[in-house]
Amino acid sequence: MSNRTIYWFRNDLRLHDNEGFLKASQRPGEIIPVYVFDPRIFELSPLGFRKTGIFKTRFLLESVEDLRRSLQAKGADLLIRFGEPEKVLAELAQQYDVSEIHLSKEVAQEETDVESSLSKRLKILNVDMVFTWMATLYHVRDLPFGFNKLPNVFTDFRKSVEKNTSVRPTLAEPSALNLPEEFVPGEIPSFQTLGYEETELIQADGRGVLDFKGGETAGLQRLHAYLWETQNLATYKTTRNGLLGADYSSKFSAWLAVGCLSPRKVYEEVKRFETEIIVNDSTYWLIFELLWRDYFRFVMLRWGTRLFKPSGLKLDKDKTWKQDKALFERWTSGQTGVPFVDANMRELNATGFMSNRGRQNVASFLAHDLGIDWTWGAAYFESLLLDYDVCSNWGNWNYIAGVGNDPRENRYFNTYSQATRYDPDGAYLRHWLPELAEVPADRLNKVWQLSKSEQETYGVSLGSTYPLPIIPADKWL
């Protein structure tokens, strides 16, 4: 019987604290590290945009390339293929005569459907699948309740977990990796192989908050810089609602999303920071955000496909949503005539990133002010966000749309008051809406009220150089 093992890297593109890969590498015999690019995640959605857009794709390619370099530094390599993973992995299992395929456990429908399909193919081959849970800060088996009894409210979840559960320690990288002699690594696919046209290959706008580089190396560098070089963690709670610049928030989400950073690694570094530098509300708040990330994953584990339906977790089928493509496209293109919404959407389109404050506001605007099917917005975020995480994205959209398990009756955002509170001098709006650069701060967020003479003075032509609002925006004032 063969002692060969395939390790299938998924959203765990790292060597540090990778329990699944460590266990697989410790088995006797040879190991075959594999990453499979699934063509289905790059296809066009029914709404006309790619399921995985250019920014996330570039970040993913960089992350896989970095993982390959890390494996090569240990005398190993990464086998890369392009195709449907359930088919590719079954073929590789036969080709290399493996006895087990190890992989991380996912919880959302598309990922678990692939797991089921692969399992059926491997049973015929008498190859076992070995899953490892490792996407969360707290291990699912350590929760003080069964996942089917997950609290409906985050605060109850948080209090129970903090009181009754400990975070498991991080694990070391594998030491020795033995590849089969006939190992054929394969090439990292090009954008063209993934289906991209030349016109889609845009570079991130230089006005972005950070030059996000994919990979474990870059993720660990960002962790070190935010905690130890700048010590910005010490003020995280007071700056986290910022809009401009690299350091108002940690920006760890992109590396966490594809597993270039382990949440336990982040936790341990925060705890070390508290020991060596300071303990305060800000240091706790970063761990608090990791708990939110955990909660959304456990919500997906418990309720599954309900998160993807317009009726949401509440199964609210009485609420109707408009499916107005023209209005939706005004939102996606940042042409709503509401400056705070437009600035955030233009940042997203140009860079693949948007602040947490921005995400809440544009989502509220789409769902509540326009009444557009919120799942369209969630799908657009899935395409554009380079830090897209299926559980956090769809969980957050459920909350904002009012169909999630949220104790608040209405999570509606007054975009005018939000903008004047978080961007009082208009610096963010001018950064992303240069056509409004001359408008005074006190008029920026009600630019639609400018008279003809004021428009001439400030170099704006409403309905021409900047759109009139697509809703009666005076309601916020």
Residues 6+ apart with CB under 8 A from 35: 8, 9, 13, 64, 67, 78, 79, 80, 81
Q: 386 vs 65, 349, 445, CA distance in Å?
A: 16, 11, 28
> How does the average pLDDT of the chain come out, rounded?
96
DSSP annotation of 50: B
Q: Comparing C-alpha atoms, which of 296, 289, 273, 292 is closest to residue 240? A: 289
pLDDT beyond 80 at 410: no
Q: 445 vs 303, 354, 427, 433, 477, CA distance in Å?
A: 39, 19, 12, 12, 10
pLDDT of residue 407: 66
Euclidean distance between CA atoms 200 and 348, whole angstroms:
15
Q: What residues form DSSP beta bridges with 37?
A: 82
According to CATH, the topology of domain 1-134 is Rossmann fold (3.40.50)
Say whether 240 counts as a known binding-site residue.
no
Q: What residues form DSSP beta bridges with 35?
A: 9, 80
> Which residue type, as a one-letter code, is found at position 437?
A
Say whether 291 counts as a known binding-site residue.
yes
pLDDT digits (tens, 9 = 90+) for 6-24: 999 999 999 999 999 999 9
DSSP annotation of 8: E
Cβ(90)–Cβ(101) below 8 Å: no
Domain spans, the chain: 1-134, 135-170+215-303, 325-476
Q: What residues form DSSP beta bridges with 8?
A: 34, 103
Say whether 159 counts as a known binding-site residue.
no
Q: Comparing C-alpha atoms, which of 130, 99, 79 is closest to residue 4? A: 99
Say whether 389 counts as a known binding-site residue.
yes
Say whether 289 counts as a known binding-site residue.
yes
Q: Which CATH architecture has domain 135-170+215-303?
A: Alpha Horseshoe (1.25)
131-136 mean pLDDT: 97
Residue 362 — φ and ψ, nearest 5°?
-70, -30
Residues 6+ apart with CB under 8 A from 78: 9, 33, 34, 35, 64, 67, 68, 71, 185
Residue given tokens 């809703």 in the structure block: 471
Q: How far is CA 289 from the centre of its chain?
A: 13
Cβ(270)–Cβ(233) below 8 Å: yes
Burial 8-46 (b: 16+ CB within 10 A, else e): bbbbbbbbbbbbbbbbbbebeebbbbbbbbbeeebeeee
246-257 mean pLDDT: 97
Structure tokens at 147: 């996942």
Residue 254's H or E segment, with its range, is helix 253-257
Cβ(154)–Cβ(292) below 8 Å: yes
Say whether 380 counts as a known binding-site residue.
no
Structure tokens at 428: 């963010």
pLDDT of residue 1: 52
DSSP assignment of 98-141 equals EEEEEEE---SHHHHHHHHHHHHHHHHHT-EEEEE--SSSS-GG
Say whether 296 counts as a known binding-site residue.
yes
Structure tokens at 33: 């590290």
Residue 32's H or E segment, with its range, is strand 31-37
Say whether 104 counts as a known binding-site residue.
no
pLDDT digits (tens, 9 = 90+) for 277-334: 999 999 999 999 999 999 999 999 999 999 999 999 999 888 899 999 999 999 999 9
How does residue 147 score in pLDDT terms, banded at 50, 70 and 90? Answer: confident
Say whether 196 counts as a known binding-site residue.
no
Say whether 253 counts as a known binding-site residue.
yes
**In the sheet that 98-104 helps form, which strands lie side by side, from edge to edge?**
79-82, 31-37, 4-9, 98-104, 128-132
pLDDT digits (tens, 9 = 90+) for 171-208: 999 988 999 999 999 999 999 999 999 999 988 899 99
| Predicted TM-score of the model (pTM) | 0.97
pLDDT digits (tens, 9 = 90+) for 375-393: 999 999 999 999 999 999 9
Cβ(41)–Cβ(85) below 8 Å: no
DSSP assignment of 316-379 equals --SS--B--HHHHHHHHTT-SS-HHHHHHHHHHHHHS---HHHHHHHHHIIIIIS-B-HHHHHH
pLDDT of residue 409: 66
Q: How many CB atoms lie within 10 A of CB 76?
A: 21
Cβ(260)–Cβ(63) below 8 Å: yes
pLDDT digits (tens, 9 = 90+) for 416-456: 999 999 999 999 999 999 999 999 999 999 999 999 999 99
Q: Comparing C-alpha atoms, which of 278, 267, 190, 188 is closest to residue 231? A: 278
Q: Do domains 1-134 and 325-476 have the same CATH topology?
A: no
Say whether 267 counts as a known binding-site residue.
no
62-83 mean pLDDT: 97
Say whether 250 counts as a known binding-site residue.
yes
Say whether 249 counts as a known binding-site residue.
yes
CA torsion, ordered 111, 115, 121, 127, to nearest 10 deg: 140
CATH 1.10.3720.10 fits 325-476, yes or no: no
End-to-end CA gap in the chain: 73
